[in-house]
Amino acid sequence: MAEQVATRWSPEQVAGLAPDPASAKVGRGLAVPAKWSGAGASARAVWGSCKGSGAKPYRTVVELAGPAFKCTCPSRKFPCKHALGLLLLWSAEHVPSAAEEPDVSTWLAEREARASRAERKPEAPKDLEAAAKRAQERLARVTAGAAELRGWLTDRVGAGFASFEGSAFEGGGFSGGGAEQLRTVAARMIDAQAPGLAGGLRRAAGLVGRGRDWPGDLLAELSLLYVLAGAALRLDELPAPLAETVRTRLGFSAGTAQVLESGERVADQWLVTGAVDDEQDNLRTRRTWLRGRHSGRVALVLSFAPPGRPLDSSLPPGYVVPGELAFHPGALPLRALVADRTEAVLTPVPRGDTVAEALAAFAEALAVDPWLDRWPVLLSDLTPARHDGGWALSDVDGAALPLLPGVDPWPLLALAAEHPVTLAAELTPAGLRPLTCWHPNGVVRL
């Protein structure tokens, strides 16, 4: 008798596993029944053999719980294109339910045995005194770095921005153009174990000489860094929630176990409004935004992976995930971990806000956390409009927000050409970054 098959994933969930867009595209090309033989699915796994360039087909197995992947192809990407193609084939209901084949059962049993051994392995005792000493030493280095940065910023801004674009400035102790100076100080902040300050300096370096209003943009970025460095010098004087926010912005972070144990818990039906993938310093990051249907809370779930490895795809945009989140501490609790959840369900078009409501919410958030550089918004009844040589999105009240410079507008414009759409986006001071669009024919991740 064939085993019961697991609940099939959506194509969006499968696409979210792809290590890069090229793999996703090739995987879609392999999601054709004629390319596969011996394909089957159980409650635990999906398997099949795909004809490749060699004489022998590639054997592909996917454990659904992990997910975990095994393929005889030489690819070093996880999942490979064959695993993606097989999962897309399964998602489209072209893989029948079947009893697990011997090699599939053997591989799953081996994985289960390794996991069991890992759970039984005793944890090494933690040296709490040594850990506290290391934390204190790091705080001292960060404080020293913050004091150095404040002094440098005072001298540098006091000299004026006229020399920032290209010529050298010797009074602050560094030579070279303005952008190079900022990168040099950023490296000093890395040495001081203050990655948050370093990141702000690198962002500031990217502003030098770019655009007509770059001096004002640069001053705004450096002002926030100055305030953050000042807050680092008086952490003990700040209210506890604000102190946690400052620590997070400096680069300190609460551990997963600590957040799950003592973080604020919020149970709700969480709408996954959108996700953004970034890659920097050989690390891929996925920002996934959620919005509680009943609580109205917004949450940010982060996942990380090295290049070629899959990011977490268990929170597909456009779906509702009933569950409980544990929030990191802070004056504006935003980042969260999924503490408990049930199966994601595709949702109809959600009700969004007006532009005015979204701007008011962003302003309230900035009043609590002035270093917030993006805010998730869900906007209803948007139509495209021309704006200052680019594009903006206008709501029923006529209020509009411009698209972020550099964003390709055409996929969204095509969706909104005939009917107003509901859009999830990241709102930044420079404009909107579209993430997910709901329109009469469905939901599209942009």
Q: Tell me which residue of 221, 222, 212, 201 sits closest to 157, measured CA to CA.
A: 222
Degrees, nearest 5: CA angle 412-415-420: 100
pLDDT at 206: 86
**Both 303 and 336 in a single domain?**
yes
Q: Examine residue 242 and state whether it is found in any structural domain, yes or no.
A: no
| Residue 404 reports pLDDT greater than 80 | yes
Output phi, psi for 393, to 5 deg: -120, 125
Say which residues have a Cβ less than 8 Å from residue 373's Cβ, sequence separation at least 6.
428, 429
pLDDT at 163: 63
Q: Examine residue 243 and state whether it is found in any structural domain, yes or no.
A: no
- What's the rounded Cα separation, in Å, for the pair 147 and 142? 9
Q: Examine residue 21 and state whether it is found in any structural domain, yes or no.
A: yes
The CA–CA distances, whole Å, from 436 to 88, 375, 442 equal 21, 14, 11
**Both 390 and 430 in a single domain?**
yes
**Both 359 and 437 in a single domain?**
yes
**Residue position matching structure tokens 């995987």:** 27
pLDDT at 170: 41
Q: Examine residue 201 and state whether it is found in any structural domain, yes or no.
A: yes
**Considering 210, 237, 264, which residue would you say is the last residue of a domain?**
237
pLDDT at 42: 93
- What's the rounded Cα separation, in Å, for the pair 222 and 227? 9
- Quick check: helix, strand or coil at residue 262? helix
Degrees, nearest 5: CA angle 78-81-87: 90
| Residue 123 reports pLDDT greater than 80 | no
**Both 340 and 360 in a single domain?**
no
- At 248-271, the pLDDT tens digits run 999 998 888 889 999 999 999 999
Q: Examine residue 4 and state whether it is found in any structural domain, yes or no.
A: no
Which of 103-112, 115-124, 273-282, 305-314 is predicted least confidently?
115-124
**Both 360 and 341 in a single domain?**
no
The CA–CA distances, whole Å, from 85 to 23, 88, 94, 95, 107 equal 10, 5, 11, 11, 20
> What is this structure's pTM?
0.80
- What's the rounded Cα separation, in Å, for the pair 15 and 200? 32
**Both 48 and 73 in a single domain?**
yes
Q: Examine residue 248 and state whether it is found in any structural domain, yes or no.
A: no
Helix (H) / strand (E) containing 283 = strand 283-292
| Residue 43 reports pLDDT greater than 50 | yes
Confidence of residue 167 (pLDDT cuts 50, 70, 90): very low
User: What mean pLDDT comes out for the span 40-51?
Assistant: 93
Structure tokens at 443: 């939901």
CB atoms within 10 A of CB 443: 20
**Considering 346, 365, 392, which residue would you say is the last residue of a domain?**
346
**Both 157 and 110 in a single domain?**
no
- Quick check: helix, strand or coil at residue 83? helix
**Both 264 and 314 in a single domain?**
yes
Tell me the chain's radius of gyration from C-alpha atoms: 25
Q: Examine residue 191 and state whether it is found in any structural domain, yes or no.
A: yes
pLDDT at 99: 92
Structure tokens at 277: 């993938």
User: What mean pLDDT comes out for the span 217-244?
Assistant: 93
**Both 224 and 318 in a single domain?**
no
Query: For residue 281, how far is the Cα from the chain centroid?
Result: 15
Q: Examine residue 5 and state whether it is found in any structural domain, yes or no.
A: no
- What's the rounded Cα separation, in Å, for the pair 214 and 200? 15
Output phi, psi for 302, to 5 deg: -105, 140
- At 426-443, the pLDDT tens digits run 999 889 999 999 987 788
**Both 311 and 271 in a single domain?**
yes
Give me the number of domains the chain comprises.
4
Which of 185-199, 208-222, 408-422 is predicted least confidently?
208-222
Q: What is the DSSP secondary structure assignment for residue 234, as one 8-state letter?
A: T
pLDDT at 2: 45
Tell which wins on pLDDT, 172 or 418.
Answer: 418
**Both 49 and 116 in a single domain?**
yes
When mean pLDDT is compared over 129-138, 374-383, 406-415, the highest value belongs to: 374-383
DSSP helix, strand, coil percent of the chain (3-state; round to 5)? 35, 25, 35
Can you give the residue range of the structural domain that contains 27? Answer: 11-120
- What's the rounded Cα separation, in Å, for the pair 276 and 415? 19
**Residue position matching structure tokens 């979204």:** 358
Q: What is the DSSP secondary structure assignment for residue 431, as one 8-state letter?
A: E
Percent of the residues in the chain that have a pLDDT greater than 90, as a whole number? 58
Q: What is the DSSP secondary structure assignment for residue 97, as one 8-state letter?
A: B
